[in-house]
Structure 1
Amino acid sequence: MTKLFYKIVSKNYLLILLFTCCLVSCTDANTKENTAVNIALSFPTEHYKEPLDGRLILLISKDTVTEPRFQLRDDSKTCQGFGMDVTDWKPSESLQFDAASFGYPVENFADLPSGEFYVQAVFHKYETFHRADGLTVKLPMDRGEGQQWNRAPGNLYSMPQKITIKDGAFPSLTVKLDQKIPPIEPPKDTKYVKHIKIKSKLLSDFWGRDMYVGAHVLLPEGWDTHPDVKYPLAIMHGHFPKDFDGFRTTPPDPNLKPDYSERFDVEGYNIMVQQEAYDFYKTWTGPDFPRVIAIKIQHPTQYYDDSYAVNSEAQGPYGDALTYELIPYIEKQFRGIGEGWSRFVYGGSTGGWEALAVQVKYPKEYGMCFAACPDPIDFRAYCLVNIYEDENAYYEKGTFRKTLVPGHRDYLGNVDATLKDMNYRELVLGSKGRSGQQWDIWEATFSPIDNEGYPKRIWDRLTGEIDKEVAAYWKENYDLAYILKRDWAKYGQDWVHKIHLYCGDMDNYYLNNAVYLAEDILSETTEPYYDGEVDYGDRAEHCWNGDHDNGNHISRLRYHRMFIKKYVDKVAKVAPKGADLTSWRY
């Protein structure tokens, strides 16, 4: 009897449990249906008459101190973003925003907090490229802004509008992307600064359309009055330069209202920047500064504001285009010496990686490199990830818990963003490596391509699981410290005296860890010994460049005057016997 009672009760309990589960499931489904977004978006025919492909980004902000499109960040001060791919969007067609679109920092619409917010939409326009490898890809073309989705000329956006979200319910909206970002006027030549843009045959052949690279050229004092003199070439690598910024022929604007730099905790930093630029002009034209030609290269790609200055499967032969097309052209136009020893490279962060990369990849074509706070130069320390040994980029896994891997810190070690935060933000801005941001450009530079023609992921962007086959490809082709060790016997004579590295030991992105590993490799070199320099700044943050006398906010503005002098002081070590080391020292 007891057994029968328990059988009946158990059977009834099972039925109740199944009924409850169905009820919960139905309730969840109804909740999702009720919280589905009803956002209709359109753009007018006066902006475009043809259908568009691209990325639609919806932004939600608590305030409009700046437009929401300028507020999407990695840290806790970010606004909210959702993104979805769009194909063949016709003018005046009402497009419904996908409720399942991925979001950052809140992943789903239903989980948004209640309150009053401002909503803005941005459309990042893509173009179709038929590459030489037979693959067709859709990517955003740079339009003079340096591959910035929220500033790119031709992109569409709406004006912010106020909404109320309550209990996960998003209001119905009609959003008109009736604003179009205007074209950018190119800079004009001056006595000292010239602007160069050439068609690259190598890149045009790769991309199946005309492709260009360029540079801003700073001529030395006396260039026009010394027509027989040929000059060394100082090549500064780094993020997309709109002009030869950091060079100003007039004192700071007396009407400029001082602003506050949150990054450096400095009041009136904008005035300091102008003063430093004016001081550099006076130094550049003064009697004691070396006479060289200085250039800043412009080479934005469809993936970022610059190419990382090396050849890659996804972006094409940018290393060869810069080294064998652009630089010789500039030297011919402006009387450069035109020999490997007379070209030296320098830069910080992205530019620091590029400076070392071109010295490693083209050992005879460049005479010296000065790499400050370089992006990861040893992938055992790809920021805080060892791509060869770690299984997951987002988490340190233990037996009973897992810990998020930090992505950004201040000089005291306070973390305000994790690697997962950074990568999830990029997922909102673009699929298939098309966000135009940091982690995507590293993949576009270092990775082989997938079957569609886009860069292969080093790790799954949602889970963080690392692809070891991709990691092995990275190691053999772009792990600069590993390549130096692997090829020292072959190219050591061409690298000796040329490698100089600088990094703060509290770099915000943990880039000093890779420099430590690279230093170990360099310190063990023999026949020849590398005979360069590795230096660290105590508690110095990102962009520290070897200046022990000034803070980051000042030293980062002095790359030209610091590294040009360093090169001139050391040039005799790399110049061949009989090289002209005097005529350009007037």
Structure 2
Amino acid sequence: MKLKSLLISFLLSGLTNAFSQQKAENIAGAKGKLQFKISFSSATDAKPLTGRMFLVISHADTIEPRLQVGRYGTQFFGVDFEKLQPAQEITVDGSILGYPVNDLKDIPTGDYYVQAVLSKYTEFKRSDGHTLWMHMDQWEGQDWRRSPGNLYSKVQKISINQNHTQSIKLLVDQVIPPIPVPADTKWVKHIKIKSEILSKFWGQPIYIGATILLPKGYDENPDKHYPTVYEEGHFSLAPPFRFRESDQSEFYKDWTSDGFPAFIAITLQHPTPYFDDSYAVNTVNNGPYGDAIHQELIPEIEKQFRCIREGYARLLTGGSTGGWESFALQVLYPEFYGGTWSFSPDPLDFHNVEGINVYEDKNAFYKEFEWYKTPTINTRFWQTGDVRLTSKQRITMELVNGTKGRSGGQLDIWSAVYGPIGSDGYFKPLFNEETGVMDTSVACYWKENFDMRYYLEKNWTTVGPKLVGKLHVFAGRMDDFFLNFGVYHMEDFLIKTTNPYYGGSFTYGERGGHGWRPYSSGQLLREMDAYLKKVHPDN
């Protein structure tokens, strides 16, 4: 009897499990299929287009969904297309990668605002023999969300029910208008030129430019020439140092006051098909931006404005991207520039590139130890040190923005600047964006070409004498993106230099995050002025 009872119990248990499994399968089968069908209107463009289509989903429409996309922004998906005809539909469904949520089926049931954006690509037949399809910057700073000529749909409110099958249509029938260029004023002037050097490389017209801030008394002293400060950084048409004539800010009061150091301050515009900024150096992927800036743009600036055309009087500064540029330009053009004050620079060496150790990590997604793995951290909250983004999340976000390095994102531009060219003409990536696996050959290229510490170690006997006293670096020890570690590695080398000793400075904010600065722009310029008085050739 006992054996019989056990047998009956076993059979009932099996039936119960089978019933439960079937019930689960029935529930799963009842789950609906969500998809979006997106097309563009012939009224906006009658010809076939190549590019990338974006679907943006947001909780609110206080600003358009497309303008909410970002590193920490709202949900979006992206899909490439070639020779898309008007009215031909692009499908966004569960097969299309998204960010922050990767799969469309995982968007919670609820009410949302949706918008589609069509980013147009241009065919570039480069002088190196490669043909690439990329987005042509329209003087907006390589931003598909607001690039003039890109198409977008009107915002539509929808209800998503993941238990129902839904097919939602969106029509891209609006055109993003041109970016208004600020008018020249007494204080602020603008230059924009076609670069013959870059146009030849890219096979399309490429433009570079500058915004110039003039000192007090410039018009009243027509025979006086001034030292220049180049503030490097991301694309912007705004004046240097956030100078604004409308709000009587502290810097405006400083700049326009009697006795304030008289400089010509300059920001440069040099967007590329990869990013809003070229990093101002010659590279195999971006092209000869270093040559274009130093052989075309700066000579034009110095022709139109009364700059002192001597190396000691050309100073550099900038933060983040501009921090790396200002430091690298001083190192690579040691006699053309007279000194740099570089803040929170992008990695000056590559042992920590937003968490990734280029030289030791086997995978960009995680750190591997003897018995376990941990996710690589890309971004932290500087106030607490808590994780904000993992490396995998950051990499996925850029992949959703664009394949083949066309995201306009930070990791992609580093690969375009620091890395080699691939067989298809796009840059050869440091890591596989889907698996995270690192490519050691690319890591070696990064080191040999753009690791600034390694460059100085190799060349100190010849370059060092031209850099004495010129290198000044600032960083917060809690930099959001771990950029302080590259500064540490650079300092470790420079403070040990001899014949000559580097003679510069490193300054840290103990609890400072990304963008930490020990003083205002006005104070910085006063420090630069004091420095110039010491190094003036007449001294």
Q: TM over 0.5, yes or no?
A: yes
- Equivalent position to 1:507, from 466, 472, 479: 479
Structure 1 distance, partners of 2:454, 2:534, is 25
Q: Distance in 2 between matches of 1:339 and 1:325?
A: 17
Task: Map 1:472-483 onto structure 2 (within 5 A).
Answer: 472-483=444-455
User: 1:426 and 2:398 equivalent?
Assistant: yes
Residue matched to 1:160: 155
Which residue in the other structure is 1:145 paired with? 140
Other-structure match for 1:59? 56
TM-superposed deviation, 1:447: 1.1
Is structure 2 residue 539 aligned with structure 1 residue 568?
no
The within-5 A match list for 1:8-407 is: 36-75=33-72, 78-97=73-92, 99-167=94-162, 171-244=166-239, 246-250=242-246, 252=247, 275=248, 278-407=249-378
**Is 1:459 paired with 2:431?**
yes
Q: Go from structure 1 to structure 2 and tell me whether the alpha carbon gap of 1:65 and 1:396 turns closer, same or farther (over 3 Å shift).
A: same
Corresponding residue for 1:264? none
**Inter-partner Cα distance in structure 2 for 1:170 and 1:321:** 54
Who is 1:541 aligned against?
513
Aligned equivalents of 1:425 and 1:31: distance in 2?
30
User: Is this contact kept in 2: 1:328–1:338, CA < 8 A?
Assistant: no
- Which residue number corresponds to residue 10 of structure 2? none
Contact kept, 8 Å, 1:311 with 1:318, in 2: the verdict is yes
Q: What is the SS of the residue equivalent to 2:201?
A: helix
- What amino acid does structure 1 have at the position aligned with 2:207? Y
Contact 2:193/2:297 (CA < 8 Å) preserved in 1? yes
CA contact (8 A) 1:346 1:563 kept: no
- What amino acid maps onto 1:39 in structure 2? F
Q: CA deviation at 1:573?
A: 4.8
Give the CA deviation at 1:169.
5.0
Give CA-to-partner distance per residue, 1:480-501, whole Å, 9 cap, x none. Answer: 1111121111111111111000
Give the counterpart letter for 1:563 in structure 2. Answer: L
Shift of 1:39: 2.4
Distance 1:371-1:495 versus aligned 2 partners, 3 A rule: same
Instruction: Describe the superposition over 1:165-209 as per-residue Cα deviations: whole angstroms up to 9, x where unpaired.
Output: 334656211110122111112111111111011121211111112
Structure-1 separation of matches of 2:373 and 2:161: 33
1:550-561 correspondence to structure 2 within 5 Å: 558-559=520-521, 561=522
Do 1:113 and 1:168's aligned partners in 2 also have CA atoms closer than 8 Å? Answer: no
- What SS does structure 2 have at the residue aligned with 1:188? coil
- State the AA in 2 paired with 1:242: L
Give the TM-score normalised by the residue count of structure 2.
0.91
- CA distances 1:516-543 after superposition (whole Å, capped 9, x unpaired): 1111011011111010010001201111
Please report how far the alpha carbon of residue 114 of structure 1 lies from its aligned counterpart in structure 2 after TM superposition: 2.4
Number of residue pairs the alignment of both structures matches:
516
Aligned residue in 1 for 2:492: 520
Residues 82 and 104, structure 1, Cα contact 8 Å, conserved in 2? yes
Q: How far apart are 1:145 and its partner, in Å?
A: 1.3
Q: 1:464 to 1:94 in 2, by over 3 A?
A: closer
Identity over aligned pairs, percent: 45
Q: Deviations over 1:404-440 (max 9, x none)?
A: 1112222221222111111111111100111111111
Partner SS state of residue 351, structure 2:
helix
AA of the residue aligned to 1:56 = M
Amino acid at match of 2:313: S
1:507 counterpart letter in structure 2: D
Shift in Å, 1:400: 4.2
Q: In 2, Cα distance between the equivalents of 1:201 and 1:332?
A: 18
What amino acid is the match of 2:473? Answer: L
* Contact preservation (8 Å) 1:163, 1:171: no
Shift of 1:370: 0.7
Structure 1 Cα separation of the partners of residues 533 and 461 of structure 2:
23
Q: Structure 2: how far apart are the matches of 1:535 and 1:514?
A: 14
RMSD (Å), alpha carbons = 2.2
In structure 2, list runs of 5 or more residues that go unmatched: 1-13
Of the three residues 470, 482, 493, the one matched with 2:442 is 470
Contact 1:372-1:546 at 8 Å conserved across structures: no
Residue 3 of structure 2 is matched in structure 1 by none
The 1:526–1:124 alpha-carbon spacing in structure 2 relative to 1, beyond 3 Å, is same
> Residue 125 and residue 484 in structure 1: after superposition, are their counterparts in 2 closer, same or farther (change >3 A)?
same
Q: 1:207/1:99 Cα in 2 relative to 1: closer, same or farther (>3 Å)?
A: same
Q: Distance in 2 between the 1:223 and 1:567 partners?
A: 19
Structure 2: how far apart are the matches of 1:387 and 1:333?
A: 43
Contact map agreement 1:370 1:499 (CA 8 A) in 2: yes
User: Equivalent residue of 1:490, what SS?
Assistant: helix
Quick one: structure 1 residues 485 and 467, their matched pair in 2 at CA, closer, same or farther if it must change by over 3 Å?
same
